[in-house]
Every structure is written in C-alpha cells, then in structure tokens.
Amino acid sequence: MGVAEALYEAIEQSFRETGHPRDLIIVHAAGQSNRKIGFEHFAVEGLAKRIVGSHWGLMPRMSAFLGQGGAQAVCLPQGQIATLYRSIAAGRPGNLTRIGLGTFVDPRIEGGKVNDPAREHAPDYVAIQRIDDQDFMFYRRFAIDVGIFRASQVDQDGNCSLDEEAVTLDALAIAQAAHNAGGLVICQAKKLVARGAIAPRQVAVPGSLVDLVVQAPEPERQHRQSDGVYFDKKFISASSGAELPRAEFSNRLAIGRRAIRYLHHGDIVNIGTGIPGDSVGPALAEAGLSDAITLTVESGVYGGVPAGGVDFGITAHPTAIIPHASQFDFYNGGGLDATFMGAGEVDRTGNVNVSRLGGRVIGAGGFIDITQSARLVCFCFSLDGTRQKFVNEVEHLTFSAEQARRNNQDVLYVTERAVFRLDSGGLVLIEIAPGLEIKKVLDQIPFRVSVQEPVARMPEDIFRPTVAPFDLPAQPSAKIKASTGR
C-alpha cells in the first residue's frame, strides 16, 4: 500500500542501465513490499549506500542484502520515522521521546545500527538526552533531498488526492519535509484530472509542494490499492454490517481466544501481524465481542476486518483512516489499552526478539513504539514451531523487560500450552492447558521459570471447536497507563 512502484522500477532500471543514481541514502517508515517488488527494487549493490527503515520482514532480497552488508542498515522504530518527517518539515531538531530506551535502538546498545557497514560508517541517528533526571531518546533530524509519494488523483495544479488509497501514510509530511529542505518532491499519480476536479477538503498534498508528477504507465500493476486488489471500495468505505472473519479451530485460534479474555469492554487495541492478526479478530467475532472493543492498526486504520499476509495494514470497511504519524502520536502517548504481538524469541528475563532471527535482518516495524506504550502487552506465539521460542538470551533486544517494568506495564506471554506473566524476577508460569503436566511445559524451557501456586488451568472451552458468546468486564475506573509520554 502506498508504493510508488513506477518510480521505484525506474530508479532501479536507470541504475542498471547507466549507473545513476547511485549511493543513495533511502529512508522509509514502513516495510512496503509483497516479497517481490516495492522496496525490493533498492536491494542492488551500488544503488543504495544506506537504508534507514523500520522493517524488512516482507522483503527477502532486501533482508538478505542488508544481512550480507550490501548497504549500511539502520533500523529505527516505525513511529519515530513517521513523526520525524513532521519534525524535519517543521524545522525542529528531531524527536524527543522515551520510545526505544533499553532496546537495540538505544545508542548505549546498538543505536539502531544493525549490520557491520552501518556500525563502521553510518552517523548516529539517535542520542540520549537527560532531562529532569530522566533519560530520553533523541532522534536527530536529517535533510531530505528527494521526497517520493503517490496519490490517487492529481489535478493540473498539482493538487493531490488520496481518495482511493487504503491508507494515507506519510504523503503530506514527506512532501513538506523535502520542500522545506530545498529538495525535490515527486508524486506518482494514478489518474490525472482537470483543474478544480478535486474538492479542497479532499486535497491531501497541495500542488505548491509538488515539483514533478509522474502518471503510472500501468496502474493495474504499478498503482494497486494493495497487493491483493487493484481497487476495492470496501477498503475505504464503512459498512454497518461488516463482520470479522471466523476461523476453523486451530492452536493459533486457541491462543487468540485466551488472549482476548484479558481485555475490558471499550478497550482500544492494536494487533500485530502473524498469530495476533490471524486469531484475535476471529476470536472476538465468534464470542460476539466485535463491537465491544476497537481494533486499530499502526498504519492509521480503525475498525473493520483486518487484512492478512502482505496486505496487513488495511481493513475491509474501516470506521476511520487517519495519518500514519497521527496514529503513532496516539500510541506513543499511551492511548492503547492493549496490544497483541508475536514473538520470535523470549529469554530468561522476559526480553523479546522479533528484529533479527538466525542472522536475518528483519527490523522492528512499529513493534517498539507499540510495546513500550500500551497498558497491556500480550505476546502470542506457538510452542509447536520449528524455531525454539524460549532461549537463554535473545539474539536481538527488541522488547526490553526491564523498560516494561519501569513503565509499569502488564506483560503476558500466551501460548497454546501455557500462559506466563512478567514480574520483577522474570517469567512466572500462571496457567497451563487442561490435562497437561507442568513438567512437560518446563522441560521445553532452557532456563528456570517461577511457578505460581496454585497454577490455574486455561479455560477448557478455548480448545473446543466453538465457544459460546460472552461479555468482557468493564474497564477499571482508573486505567493503568504506561508512564511513556504521560
């Protein structure tokens, strides 16, 4: 979504044919690819000198390219890049926030430099600032020479509308940042329309900010609303009859069923990709709870039926679509009651890794912004996969258990066999599946885990083919909010 594919293609083609442009520093807030095209066009040695981004999980070539040192790789939280565009546009020195403390982005650990070329040559994008005896992360501004975005319609004056885009992302902020830095602003257009054809309130980027407009020669291939569809009105329109998808029973669904029972009626929730994205919505739907909570995605979408796979980030029949950075303002300020996230590795202290697995550079996306600011953080993962989930020490520090304790967050680890809680000493086993021996679970874990006495049993009905509808408890009179941003 939001990929200016015609421009990306042309940049790669120009480099391969003429050697120019070359040695680019390319910055992207989200991980926009379908494992084939999109940002994958820049995984070419010599074309990119440095990649500053948040996530390469859907980019096998780029992930391998960065892992092998093909370009300097700097990974920053998705929300910090999105909001940094606005700081650059406004002439501010950067972002001051607690997001990233204690993780690999912290300059006392890696500073976001996730491969050897970056550690050797990349400048410092982050620093620690001490204010009122508290540590803050300072994300430094940088100059933008060229800003690229796309629009559904562009009129003869260059005014741009995003009316058919499933998400608005960072179009305006990128255009303002590049323009105010004296740079070049390029817009890929799906359609060219007459002067005055776009109503003023529908103009997302004013023409005065745009230098060049390129109409996509093959819009059905180069300007798709998502990977799955060229255009479908359901991704930009509300529907009172929309239902979340129902799923056949599986261990993944059982995990989602257990996880949602930690919610309260009226909670605002973020769901991550993987098991949460596949199971939380269906679990809410079958329990009759779709209207009891508000599902959100970091791209700026509220409500609706979340799309999965490479279309993650949009929903069918959303109730609202707001700018990317505005969503992260809300998240970073403590607006989320809960988030459901996957986990690649979990270690003895409760730290979680999703950003580098088996030496593969994946990145964190919005994971750090979200898990450091939600009141409840619920990691959902299966113990039946090919990769060992519990390890003595995570390969990469994406979630800091120590920082979560400082933020007074509730942290849970939900699997199909057991549930764990984070406390001052690490993981505590608090629930186990019916009929399962505690020893069988503990034998899978290469470190000592405390056991709550008595250990509760996970609800039996989450393992049945269907569950009966139920209600959630009311929200506490005073919500416990993460200290981040409050």
Residue by residue, what is the 3-state secondary structure of 216-263? CCCHHHHCCCCCCCCCCHHHCCCCCCCCCCCCCCCHHHHHHHHHHCCC
The architecture in CATH of the region 5-135 reads 3-Layer(aba) Sandwich (3.40)
pLDDT of 248 over the 90 cut: no
Listed residue (277, 287, 334) closest to 308, CA to CA: 277
Higher-pLDDT residue of 432 and 486 is 432
C-alpha dihedral sign at 53, 54, 60, 64: positive
C-alpha dist (Å) from residue 293 to 298, 333, 368: 16, 19, 23
Give the model's pLDDT for residue 53: 98
DSSP for 377-425 reads EEEE--SSSSS--B-SS-SS-SB-HHHHHHTT-EEEEE-SSEEEEEETT
With 70 as the cut, is the pLDDT of residue 243 above it? no
Summarised one tens digit per residue, pLDDT across range 335-347 is: 999 999 999 999 9
Place of tokens 């986990």: 343
Q: 72 pairs with which residues across the strands?
A: 50
Unique residue bearing structure tokens 């060992």 = 388
Set 298, 345, 416, 431: catalytic member = 298
| Interstrand relation of 48-53 and 94-97 (parallel, antiparallel or unpaired) | unpaired
Instruction: State yes or no: pLDDT of 461 exceeds 70.
Output: yes
DSSP 83: H
> What local confidence, expressed as pLDDT, does residue 246 receive?
66
pTM of the predicted model as reported, rounded to 2 decimal places: 0.94
Q: Is the dihedral of CA 133, 136, 142, 147 positive or negative?
A: negative
Fold designation for 251-463:
Glutaconate Coenzyme A-transferase (3.40.1080)
- pLDDT tens profile 154-179: 999 999 999 999 999 999 999 999 99
486 pLDDT more than 70: no
Query: Stretch 458-479: mean pLDDT, rounded?
Result: 89
DSSP state letter for 340: E
Number of H helices, E strands in the chain: 12, 27
What per-residue confidence (pLDDT) applies to 481? 44
**CA dihedral for 318, 324, 325, 329, sign (positive or negative):** positive
H or E segment and range at residue 423: strand 418-423
- Portion of the chain with pLDDT greater than 90, in percent: 90
Instruction: For residue 150, list its beta bridge partners.
Output: 188
Residues near 201 by beta carbon (within 8 Å), at least 6 away in sequence = none
Average model confidence (pLDDT) across the chain: 94
The answer, yes or no, to whether residue 462 has pLDDT greater than 90, is yes
3-class SS of residue 4: coil
Q: What is the pLDDT of residue 334?
A: 96
Percent of the chain with pLDDT over 70: 97
With cut-offs at 50, 70 and 90, classify the pLDDT of residue 456: very high
Is pLDDT above 80 for 94?
A: yes
DSSP 3-state assignment of 446?
coil
- Condensed to tens digits (0 to 9), the pLDDT of residues 258-315 reads 999 999 999 999 999 889 988 998 999 999 998 999 999 999 999 988 888 889 899 9
First to last CA, the chain: 32
Confidence band, pLDDT 50/70/90 cuts, at residue 240: low
Catalytic site includes residue 298: yes
Looking up tokens 């981004």 gives: 53
C-alpha 78: how far from chain center: 6
Domains 5-135 and 251-463 share a fold: yes
Q: What is the mean pLDDT of residues 38-65?
A: 96
Residue closest to 331 by CA, chosen among 368, 306, 360, 358: 368
Could you state, in order of their start, the residue ranges of all structural domains in the chain? Answer: 5-135, 146-227, 251-463
